[in-house]
Amino acid sequence: MGIRSYKPTSAGRRHGTVLDYGEITRTQPEKSLLKRVTRSGGRNHSGKTTVRFRGGGARKMYRLVDFKRNKDGVPAKVASIEYDPNRTCHIALLHYADGEKRYILAPQGLRVGDLLESGPKVEPKVGNCMPLGAIPSGLEIHNVEMNPGQGGALVRSAGAVARIAAKEGKWAQLIMPSGEMRMIALACRATIGQIGNVDYQHVHLGKAGRKRHLGRRPHVRGKAMNPVAHPLGGGEGRSNGGRHPCSPTGVPAKGGTTRNRRKNSSKRIIRRRKNGRGIQLSV
């Protein structure tokens, strides 16, 4: 997939680029796998904003993606590669031999007509889903489960890839895209290959309007606000806030500890992402 640029007919067109969507083979989604989802605009059930700078955006339908890949023993044929407005990567429509249709995340190199399978005894090729215990060490994987049967929760964005470093006992040591190394149970499933749409990270929006189309509103600096709205706000003339950067509720933004160390997943981290480097990809 390549990146397309236009003639600078306007200030937004001058630096804006788009994907050419050369991998897309179908423009209309499967209606049986669509669901309408109401948007909250960053507000909770009481109507109060809990996530700032969200709202608006183009209308879109949610595609029901199969993250669990638990249909073992039934081969599936790739019918199409489609665009998904809800995520950065593309999705693939599978037609199973028993007539069922499901969407999955489309890995790089997947083509229409390929046959995919799921289970512990399938061939470790691109697009197949297997438990980590059955995947050879060193292979690239994505859509990794954190708990057996939960469904893929890690490594799901465009171009992301993890790698199995080692296996010991009931655990596998995975190198995540951020460079973090963590332990995942061998019973958890993952899909072989790197997620496609790798060039997504090289796209330049070019203008503020394209960010609004994605549902992202302007991000306002805290020191530009009134003191009633932010701890860094107010002051006579221009100021630097008078304290370390923080959120509107006073949570430190840089260097402060915000992660709950009592989370169950914390004890499975061998090396944190700040101490390591991400996987270098040769694309």
Q: How far apart are CA 154 and CA 142, in angstroms?
A: 7
Sign of the CA dihedral running 255, 178, 160, 143: negative
Q: What is the dihedral of CA 84, 111, 160, 83, to 10 degrees?
A: -10
122 confidence band (pLDDT: 50, 70, 90): very high
> With 60 as the cut, is the pLDDT of residue 282 above it?
no
Indicate whether 251 belongs to any domain. Answer: no
Paired residues of 269 in beta bridges: 182
Lowest mean per-residue pLDDT among 82-91, 234-243, 251-260:
251-260
Tell me, yes or no, whether 100 and 227 share the same domain: no
* pLDDT tens digits, one per residue of 165-223: 999 999 999 999 999 999 999 999 999 999 999 999 999 999 999 999 999 999 999 99
Q: For the chain, how many structural domains are there in total?
A: 2
* Residue 229 structural domain: 220-246
Strands 17-19 and 34-35: unpaired
Indicate whether 106 belongs to any domain. Answer: yes
Tell me, yes or no, whether 24 and 96 share the same domain: yes
Q: What CATH number does residue 128 fall under?
A: 2.40.50.140
Indicate whether 283 belongs to any domain. Answer: no
Tell me, yes or no, whether 231 and 162 share the same domain: no
**Average model confidence (pLDDT) for the chain?**
92
What is this structure's pTM?
A: 0.89
Tell me, yes or no, whether 152 and 242 share the same domain: no
